[in-house]
Amino acid sequence: MSQIKVLFVCMGNICRSPTAEGVFTHLVEKHGTLDRFLIDSAGTHAYHIGEEPDARAQQTARQRGIDLSHIRARKFAHTDFEMFDHILAMDTDNYNILHSACPPHLRSKIKLFLDYAPARDESDVPDPYYGGQNGFNHVFDLVEDASTGFYDSVMTKVATPN
């Protein structure tokens, strides 16, 4: 059985998308299904290539038992459209950037991440970079909800193939 390839995308790949990568990885580990997934994150902009996640994102994750220190920022590559099964944008701006760059036959792979958190009113995971610690806590809460919803959605499809 082939792996389910998931890519989380934000702007700089140092706050939201690495948080999502870490949270989702932690979730699939807890379910004992890590071997079924390939999980990565990227940014639509090349601001922080090679850098660790923002210290505040790492601190927030550590407080909740998740280590992000191994993640390094990278820029989204055009080959990611082919490589990944699911490309989850953190917000509408990054969704639009991805959608406009994507070959039409692959656009169905791109979704807004918070579409998997229907109990939430927001459609965008807000960028906490210029804010305080509360913004990082809020991002983490949103990402946890969406990760659970996305995991349940994917595993339901795997369990009941067409």
With cut-offs at 50, 70 and 90, classify the pLDDT of residue 1: low
Distance, in Å, from the CA atom of 54 to the CA atom of 80, rounded to the nearest integer, reads: 23
The CA dihedral of 13, 155, 122, 5, to the nearest 10 degrees, is 20
Q: What is the longest distance spanned by two Cα atoms in the chain?
A: 45
Question: Considering 16, 54, 56, 145, which one is annotated as catalytic?
Answer: 16
Whether 15 sits among the annotated catalytic residues: the reply is no
Whether 16 sits among the annotated catalytic residues: the reply is yes
- Overall average pLDDT of the 130-144 stretch: 94
Question: Considering 40, 54, 127, 145, which one is annotated as catalytic?
Answer: 127
Whether 127 sits among the annotated catalytic residues: the reply is yes
Work out the mean pLDDT of the chain and round it to a whole number.
96
- CATH superfamily to which 4-159 belongs: Response regulator (3.40.50.2300)
Q: Give the tens place of pLDDT for each residue, 71-117.
A: 999 999 999 999 999 999 999 999 999 999 999 999 999 999 999 99
Q: What is the model's pLDDT at position 55?
A: 96
Question: Considering 10, 40, 54, 91, which one is annotated as catalytic?
Answer: 10
